[in-house]
């Protein structure tokens, strides 16, 4: 069997799993890895590891064709994003996008290099461990008061109070994190030869299902059904896999029932744990114990049940029917209402699991298509959707993402960017399905189930921008594409892999790693300085705040954000002329951002009493954000808000 490019075989088989689990937990606990500091540090460490492997001793690197094709698609997105900075509406946000795409390419390549033949299962088990640990941390924050929980998020976004988000920082992203674990846990439960391992996997299912439920993410619950169906469809004994899923689902019911009846758990995240929380914890422990003690026997006995003629397509059809049933019971109109909103206030409103309100996604998607229609070939540039939405959006709420990764790529990078994204998942799917259809393809089915589970959120939300969601997908994708999940029954007719001379592979790695490490370091430094500036400003240390903002501007001279922060600081200090210079610089860098124009009007000209200048700047701000900003009379005595 042809092996993928891997590191030396001297390491124990548990290394990929342990490394994967640590990475998943670390990303989640760092706010999902979404912030500039965490993203920059993570990308730097990832590409240093890629370099260490690429420069290691080897005569050649053997790359499976699907893996090379998928990596090439991600590389295309990185290169296109970097080039598009030359016409991006917001080069600061675009630069962050480039670093994120670079990090994802590095994570995929690193996973493909480290997960060798027969080690794909270890990586999947590591993913399951990491995802379950994150779910445990999330539940502990709400049920026993561990850590600060969602306090910080609720303080800046009160409508999020009804949704569990800690530690990832976004409820739908946490829902995806929890949901991704289910297909892998089902696979571990039915394939493990050790009763203890099967018991642990089944006991973990109620943990992740309850976490997904408490995020109030309907997409996550639907994704669990779809992902689990794929894992079951690839199982050699589908009755065992189905029994494992049913055991986990039944064990989840007590805790879900308590949470549903005691709504205070979701609606009062800042309250100290009380009877409702402890009752939920007790119900969860009962479900865990039942799954661990009774589940393995139920799974084992179900092996004797053989359903004649049960094929993969039948299982997938049943999953589809289940999703249709959920839509029918909830009401198609109510489900459709979850994608459209009639106002920005409605789009911002939180909702519980048993209620549906408009999210505005339909408007976000249609605006992305409008941007694509404006620039179908080149796109509007990486990071530009937020400013395009401010000017052309159909709701009052400001957003930075199109809430659909392929549509956002279509808007920002044009047709080629969206095609590259689809090609990546297509290459992974073709490779994974080919393995999953074999008698030993259960692990590939679990990996595909994990990917499909995450894809629900990636297609209808912005969860792909959260590394805590993307990295598990990339690891599973690498395992599918590099042949590490193939069993001994691999057909000899499989296309031969690419054999790349080690020096050539090292040169290619250096060409991508050096700019990736530099850009990630720049982002980390600039983000850290901006955070320090905000902290100093909040504490009234204006000189320190200004110095930190200037350091951020020096690190990212193409970004307007540091100059906006500096202008706010100068305004607080009463330095109107300095604030004007800072805002002029911000406008030079990002002329279509309404915020510097707004600050010029309300923070500079209004205090000076220059009605004409105030009117001109305010009118320009309203032109750039006609719905996001309130429609007001052009009056220098009126103070416009500076939020974005």
Based on the domain organization, do 445 and 349 belong to the same domain?
yes
Same domain? For 401 and 317 the reply is: yes
Distance CA 416, CA 80 (A): 9
At residue 60, the pLDDT reads: 83
pLDDT digits (tens, 9 = 90+) for 234-249: 888 788 888 899 999 9
Total number of domains constituting the chain: 2
> 604, 576 in Cβ contact below 8 A?
yes
Q: Please list the alpha-helical segments (H only) found in 262-337.
A: 264-267, 275-301, 312-330, 332-337
**Among 182-196, 198-212, 294-308, 328-342, which stretch is predicted with the lowest mean pLDDT?**
328-342
The answer to whether the CB of 277 falls within 8 A of the CB of 142 is yes
Q: Which helix (H) or strand (E) holds 487?
A: none
Residue 327 pLDDT: 53
Calculate mean pLDDT across residues 388-412. 93
Q: Which parts of 461-501 fold into alpha helices (H)?
A: 467-481
1 pLDDT higher than 70: no
CB atoms within 10 A of CB 382: 31
Tell me: do 351 and 494 sit in the same domain.
yes
Query: 11 in a domain, yes or no?
Result: no
Instruction: Please give the pLDDT value at position 301.
Output: 81
Does residue 239 lie in a domain region? yes
pLDDT at 199 over 80: yes
Range of the domain at 332: 18-54+62-87+95-506
Q: What is the mean pLDDT of residues 560-564?
A: 96
Residue 525 lies in a domain: yes
Task: Measure the CA dihedral 414/41/31/523, to 10°.
Answer: -50
Query: 82 and 216 share a domain?
Result: yes
Amino acid 357: pLDDT: 40
Give the residue with greater pLDDT, 437 vs 335.
437
Mean pLDDT over the full length of the chain: 86
Q: Cα(451)–Cα(226) distance, rounded to whole angstroms? A: 10
pLDDT interval class at 87 (50, 70, 90): very high
pLDDT of residue 290: 96
Q: Do 382 and 306 fall within a single domain?
A: yes
Q: To 10 degrees, the CA torsion angle through 340, 343, 349, 352? A: -30
DSSP state of 55: T
Assess contact for 135 and 177: CB atoms under 8 A.
yes
Q: Mean pLDDT across the stretch 209-215?
A: 94
What integer pLDDT is reported at residue 632 of this predicted model?
A: 41
349 pLDDT above the threshold of 60: no
- At residue 191 the predicted structure's pLDDT band, cuts being 50, 70 and 90, is confident
Given this model, what pLDDT does residue 117 score? 80
Q: How far is CA 498 from the centre of its chain?
A: 31
Position 557 pLDDT exceeds 70: yes
Report whether pLDDT(12) > 70: no
CATH number for the domain including 560?
1.25.40.10
Angle CA(210)–CA(315)–CA(337) in degrees, nearest 5?
55
Q: Confidence class of residue 6 from pLDDT cuts 50, 70 and 90? A: very low
Sequence-ordered strand ranges (E) for 295-440: none
- Return the structure tokens found at 365: 């998607």
Do residue 443 and residue 564 come from a single domain?
A: no
Which one, of 551, 601, 548, lies nearest residue 571 by Cα? 601
Nearest Cα to 263, choosing from 192, 129, 162, 144? 162
Taking only the tens place, the pLDDT of each residue in 105-128 is 999 999 999 998 888 999 999 999
CB atoms within 10 A of CB 574: 10
- According to the model, what pLDDT value does residue 340 have? 53
Alpha carbon separation from 231 to 53, 94, 391, 443 (Å, rounded):
32, 37, 44, 8
pLDDT of residue 494: 66
What would you report as the CA-atom Rg of the chain, rounded to the nearest whole angstrom?
A: 25
pLDDT exceeds cutoff 60 at 634: no
Q: Which residue has the higher pLDDT, 266 or 429?
A: 429
Please write the tens of the pLDDT for every residue from 482-533.
988 876 545 545 678 889 898 999 999 999 999 999 999 999 999 999 999 9
Confidence of residue 451 (pLDDT cuts 50, 70, 90): very high
Residue range 608-634: mean pLDDT, rounded? 80
How far apart (Å, rounded) are the C-alpha atoms in residues 426 and 32?
26
CA–CA separation, 314 and 634 (whole Å)? 64
Q: Could you tell me the pLDDT band of residue 455, with boundaries at 50, 70 and 90?
A: very high
Residue 456 lies in a domain: yes
The label of the residue with tokens 């670093």 reads 99
What is the mean predicted confidence (pLDDT) over 322-338?
Answer: 52
Mean pLDDT of 207-222: 91
The mean pLDDT of 146-167, rounded to a whole number, is 73
498 - beta bridge partners? 63
> Closest by alpha carbon to 9, among 90, 151, 114?
114
- Residue 543 CB neighbours (<10 A): 10
Residues comprising the chain, all counted: 644
**Running DSSP on this structure, what letter comes out for residue 602?**
I
Is residue 641 in some structural domain?
A: no
Which is nearest to 414 in space by CA: 463, 384, 371, 459?
371
Tokens of 390: 């401010």
Lowest-pLDDT range of 30-39, 214-223, 409-418: 214-223
What pLDDT is attached to residue 270?
A: 59
Give the pLDDT of residue 639. 41
Of residues 219 and 420, which shows the higher confidence score? 420
User: Do residue 30 and residue 179 come from a single domain?
Assistant: yes
Token digits for 31? 């706010």
24-73 confidence digits (pLDDT tens): 999 999 999 999 999 999 999 999 999 999 998 888 888 999 999 999 99
Q: Residue range 439-459: average pLDDT?
A: 93
Let me know whether 392 and 537 are in one domain. Answer: no
**Is there a domain that residue 611 lies in?**
yes
- pLDDT over 70 for what percent of the chain? 82
SS3 343: coil
CA distances to 82, 402, 458 from 462, in Å: 20, 7, 6
416 in the same domain as 328: yes
Tokens 């179908």 found at: 376
Q: How far apart are CA 542 and CA 546, in angstroms?
A: 6
Residue 501: beta bridge partners? 60
**Residue 540's pLDDT band (boundaries 50, 70, 90)?**
very high
Distance of CA 223 to the CA centre of its chain: 15
Contacts of 176 (CB under 8 A, 6+ apart): 217, 219, 220, 223, 453, 454, 456, 457, 463, 469
Instruction: Report the alpha-carbon angle 513-402-93, nearest 5.
Output: 45
* Same-domain check for residues 388 and 534: no
Q: Tell me how far apart the alpha carbons of residues 600 and 621 are, in angstroms, rounded to a whole number.
A: 10
Does residue 585 have a pLDDT over 90?
yes
Same-domain check for residues 265 and 410: yes
What are 61's strand-pairing partners?
Answer: 500
Write out pLDDT tens, residues 282-301. Answer: 999 999 999 999 989 888 88
Residue 355: what pLDDT?
34
CB count within 10 Å of CB 156 equals: 7
The token pair at 448 is 């595909």
Q: Quick check: helix, strand or coil at residue 498?
A: strand
Residue 218: pLDDT band with limits 50, 70, 90: confident
Pick from 298-302, 311-315, 350-354: least confident: 350-354
Quick one: tokens of 421? 């994204």
Q: Is 542 exposed, middle or buried (0-12, 13-18, 19+ CB in 10 A)?
A: middle
Of the three residues 443, 476, 506, the one that is the final residue of a domain is 506
Residue 5: pLDDT above 50?
no
**What span, in angstroms and rounded, lies between the C-alpha atoms of 481 and 471?**
15
Residue 13 covered by a domain: no
pLDDT score of 56: 86
Please, are residues 428 and 398 in contact by the beta-carbon 8 Å criterion? Answer: no
Q: Look at phi and psi of residue 169 and say left if phi exceeds 0, alpha if psi is from -120 to 50, else beta.
A: left
| Torsion angle in degrees (nearest 10) through CA of 245, 246, 250, 252 | 10
CA distances from 325 to 230, 242, 304, 321 (A): 18, 19, 30, 6
Q: pTM above 0.85?
A: yes
Q: Are residues 70 and 149 in the same domain?
A: yes
pLDDT of residue 621: 92
Q: Is residue 8 part of a domain?
A: no
pLDDT at 371 over 90: yes
Q: How far apart are CA 70 and CA 340, in angstroms?
A: 34
Largest CA distance in the chain: 85
Average pLDDT of 378-406?
93
pLDDT at 385 exceeding the cut of 60: yes
Token pair, residue 428, equals 């992974």
């Amino acid at each position: 069997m042809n092996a993928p490019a891997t590191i030396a075989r001297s390491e124990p088989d548990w290394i990929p799993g342990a490394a994967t689990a640590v990475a998943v937990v670390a990303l989640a606990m760092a706010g999902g890895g979404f912030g500039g500091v965490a993203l920059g540090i993570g990308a730097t460490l990832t590409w240093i590891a890629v370099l260490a492997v690429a420069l290691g001793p080897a005569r050649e690197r053997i790359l499976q064709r699907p893996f090379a094709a998928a990596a090439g698609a991600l590389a295309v997105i990185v290169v296109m994003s970097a080039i598009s900075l030359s016409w991006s509406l917001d080069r600061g946000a675009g630069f962050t996008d480039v670093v994120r795409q670079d990090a994802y390419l590095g994570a995929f390549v690193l996973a493909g290099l480290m997960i060798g033949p027969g080690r794909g299962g270890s990586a999947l088990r590591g993913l399951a461990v990491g995802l379950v640990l994150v779910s445990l941390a999330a539940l502990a924050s709400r049920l026993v008061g561990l850590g600060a929980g969602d306090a910080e998020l609720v303080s800046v976004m009160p409508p999020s109070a009804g949704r569990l988000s800690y530690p990832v920082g976004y409820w739908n992203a946490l829902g995806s994190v929890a949901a991704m674990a289910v297909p892998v846990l089902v696979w571990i439960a039915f394939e493990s030869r050790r009763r203890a391992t099967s018991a642990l996997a089944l006991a973990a299912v109620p943990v992740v299902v309850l976490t997904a439920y408490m995020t109030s993410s309907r997409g996550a619950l639907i994704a669990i059904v779809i992902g689990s169906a794929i894992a079951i469809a690839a199982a050699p004994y589908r009755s065992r896999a189905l029994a494992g899923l049913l055991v986990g689902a039944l064990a989840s019911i007590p805790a879900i029932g308590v949470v549903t009846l005691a709504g205070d758990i979701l609606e009062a995240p800042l309250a100290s744990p009380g009877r409702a929380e402890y009752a939920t914890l007790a119900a969860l422990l009962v479900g865990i114990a039942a799954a661990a003690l009774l589940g393995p026997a139920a799974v084992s006995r179900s092996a004797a049940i053989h359903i004649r003629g049960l094929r993969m397509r039948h299982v997938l059809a049943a999953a589809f029917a289940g999703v249709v049933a959920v839509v029918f019971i909830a009401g198609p109109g109510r489900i459709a209402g979850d994608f459209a909103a009639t106002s920005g206030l409605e789009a911002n409103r939180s909702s519980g699991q048993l209620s549906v309100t408009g999210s505005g996604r339909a408007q976000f998607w249609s605006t992305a298509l409008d941007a694509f229609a404006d620039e179908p070939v080149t796109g509007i540039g990486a990071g530009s959707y937020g400013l395009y939405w401010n000017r052309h959006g159909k709701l009052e709420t400001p957003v930075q993402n199109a809430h659909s990764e392929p549509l956002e790529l279509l808007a920002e990078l044009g047709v080629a960017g969206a095609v590259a994204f689809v090609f990546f998942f297509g290459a992974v799917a073709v490779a994974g399905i080919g393995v999953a259809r074999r008698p030993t393809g259960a692990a590939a089915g679990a990996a595909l189930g994990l990917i499909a589970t995450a894809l629900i959120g990636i297609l209808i939300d912005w969860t792909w921008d959260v590394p805590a969601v993307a990295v598990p997908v990339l690891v599973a994708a690498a395992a599918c594409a590099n042949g590490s999940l193939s069993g001994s029954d691999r057909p000899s007719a499989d296309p031969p892999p690419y054999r790349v001379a080690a020096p050539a592979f090292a040169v290619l790695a250096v060409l991508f790693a050096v700019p990736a490490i530099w850009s990630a370091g720049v982002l980390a430094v600039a983000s850290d300085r901006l955070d320090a500036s905000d902290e100093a400003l909040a504490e009234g240390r204006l000189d320190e705040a200004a110095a930190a903002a200037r350091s951020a501007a020096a690190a990212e001279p193409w970004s307007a954000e540091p100059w906006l922060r500096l202008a706010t600081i100068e305004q607080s200090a009463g330095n109107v002329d300095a604030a004007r210079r800072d805002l002029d610089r911000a406008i030079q860098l990002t002329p279509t951002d309404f915020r510097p124009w707004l600050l010029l009007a309300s923070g500079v000209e209004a205090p000076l009493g220059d009605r004409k200048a105030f009117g001109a700047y305010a009118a320009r701000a309203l032109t750039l954000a006609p719905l996001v900003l309130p429609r007001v009379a052009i009056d220098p005595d009126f103070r416009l808000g500076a939020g974005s």
